Amino acid sequence: MQSGRPQNIPMENLSKPIFAQDEMGRPFIIVKDQGKKLRAHGVDAIRSHILAARQVSGILKTSLGPRGLDKILISPDGDINITNDGATILSEIQLDNEVAKLLVELSKSQDDEIGDGTTGVVVLAGAMLDQALELIEKGIHPIKVANGFDKACKIATANLDSIADSIHIDSSNIDANLSHDSDLFRAASTSLGSKVVSKCHDQFARIAVETVLNVADLERKDVDFELIKVEGKLGGSLEDSKVIKGVVLDKDFSHPQMPKEINDAKIAILTCPFEPPKPKTKHKLEVETVEEFKQLQEYEQGKFRQMIKQVKDTGANMVICQWGFDDEANYLLLSNNLPAVRWVGGSEIETIAIATKGRIVPRFEDLTPEKLGHAGKVREIALGTTRSRLLVIEDCENPKTVTALIRGSNKMIVDEATRSLHDSLCVVRNLIKDNRVVYGGGSAEISCSLKVAEAADKQKGIDQYAFRAFSQALDVIPMALAENSGLNPIENLTNLKAQHVKDNNAFLGVDCLGKGSNDMKQQFVIETLIGKKQQFLLASQLARMVLKINDVIVTGKDQY
């Protein structure tokens, strides 16, 4: 029996079992479920979107917290990457679903704005959408749910302000912030607890704090990340990583007989090559006799000598060139005692110019003594027993330029250590911008969950359902932390909520590391306030965006 849509039947009657006839006059019965199905295209679309988001957040949920597990990412080329960083995992996953791609953009937004908490924001957004689906299937309109989430988010972020603590940053004595007891050091250690570098997280925490404080303007509470460079180099162990106050280039001098160390370096920073000018025509230059060849050779050497003289006349004793030069120019540079580095990238050229307070010169004719960069020492260092070399420019005119040199036994370790240090650098930067923190282990989410649930009891109408759904979504974070730590998630969450209410203590969270205390303030497990607020806001905004989508149209066709 065909089930074409009946004619001239009001939609409100489709929820009741009725008899109808199709276009051929054959009778059939429309039952309640069929009536729903005829008008449920929008709900089906939202359901499919939320299920896609659930799959993505489910992948990241097992990587949450200090006991979270890593993922092996294999690229189409066969390259292997091991990480538990949310933004990195999502950037490597190839997704077909449009809503799943929105979650990728969500983690990128958190990474760009805050630098930490990329896993948590995706898990939280997935939990909100899960709770929203239950309400939608009960018949509540998606926009009503989204509006309720927005109101609940405002209550949660206001609660974060009320439970936040301020940490101490000693601006008068920067070295005091590098001690194990300083708040900045312990904050950086917390962010590294779930990373592959956790076995030497004290050292990496010190690197993060020292690096940021070297470039920070504590009066303006500003950190210029353009002055920080993180250089990863294979060889050695993680313990060999260190901070170098200056610029590190993955280069060496262009000739092996050039000096390996230059004191009081006056650097000419060039973006023009050591090459004779080429004819700007389509004509060919034909050399037919020995005399013509010698004449051409003398012309080229004359041009090289002129270029070198122009550099030496300014007082420069070192050249850094964006382009290369041939062996003849290299030999003339060596014979004129002018050490040179070639094929230096554009971004590195800019960093060197900032560090040495030099000017980037596009033509030899424009080079003057005032445009030279200055550095106390330039030296070439060897890494281990390999032929690999690094060029270190130290004691620069601008002392705020700093490089973190990361060492590791293989490329995967170096890459993951670099990502981990970036997260820690971002945490320290955020604390310098705003020194308020909330405590981790899911304590902030539990406190906000209780506050939103309390507000739900005072609401009238549909908002109370959305408030309770938002409250339950926040519970997913501490439950995931407990589950990843091998604990009973429901039992832990229930006990912690009871303790929160009984002791009026908003700092109780999941004891992931088994230290015997649930007081995250005592353990000093912290998260930046601006990072946690951003998580809540971005997750609720994404949930609202997804809930407003009821269809996906591809090349003019509806896709349900």
User: Between the CA of residue 207 and those of 39, 202, 211, 249, what are the distances in Å?
Assistant: 59, 9, 6, 19
Token pair for residue 12?
A: 């409100």
Q: Which of 67, 62, 61, 72 is nearest to 198 (CA)?
A: 67
Question: For 143-175, b where at least 16 C-beta lie within 10 A, e where not — what string?
Answer: ebbbbbbbbbbebbbebbeebbeebebeeeebe
289 among known catalytic residues: no
* In contact, 117 and 535? CB cutoff 8 Å: yes
Q: Considering 62, 85, 116, 415, which one is annotated as catalytic?
A: 85
423 among known catalytic residues: yes
Q: Considering 62, 83, 88, 118, which one is annotated as catalytic?
A: 118
The rounded distance, in Å, linking the Cα atoms of 145 and 159 is 21
Q: Considering 116, 183, 415, 423, which one is annotated as catalytic?
A: 423
Task: Report the helix count and the strand count for the chain, using DSSP H and E.
Answer: 18, 21
Q: What is the dihedral of CA 538, 540, 544, 546, to 10 degrees?
A: 70
Which residues touch 342 (CB under 8 Å, ≥6 apart)?
Answer: 251, 254, 321, 323, 324, 325
* In contact, 509 and 496? CB cutoff 8 Å: yes
85 among known catalytic residues: yes
Token pair for residue 314?
A: 């300014």
Q: Considering 62, 83, 119, 403, which one is annotated as catalytic?
A: 119
* In contact, 124 and 542? CB cutoff 8 Å: no
> How many Å from the N-terminal Cα to the C-terminal Cα in the chain?
25
CA angle 120, 122, 124 (to 5 degrees): 65
119 among known catalytic residues: yes
Annotated catalytic residues are 85, 118-119, 423
